[in-house]
Structure 1
Amino acid sequence: MSAKHASLTTHVPAASDDAQRALRDAFGRYATGVTIITARTAEGEEIGITANSFTSVSLDPAMVLWNIALKSQHVDCFQPGFRFAVNVLSDNHETLARHFGRSGRDQFREIDIALCHGLGGVPLIDGAIACFECVTDQVVLAGDHNVLIGRVERFGAHAGAPLAFHNGRFALLG
Structure 2
Amino acid sequence: MKCQNVQRRRCRRQEVSTSTAAPRSLPTFIATAAASTISTICCCIWLLLMHAPAPTQTRRLQRCELAGQLYILDVPKSELSLWLCIAHYESRYNTHVVGNRNADGSSDYGLFQISSRYWCQPDNGTKYYAFNECNVKCSALLLDDITEAVACARTIQRRQGWSAWSVYSVYCNRTLNEVDACFDGDSVEVNVKGSVEK
TM-score clears 0.5: no
Higher helix share: 2
For the pair shown, which has the larger CA radius of gyration, 1 or 2?
A: 2
Higher strand share: 1
Which one scores higher on RCO, CA 8 angstroms, separation ≥ 6?
A: 1
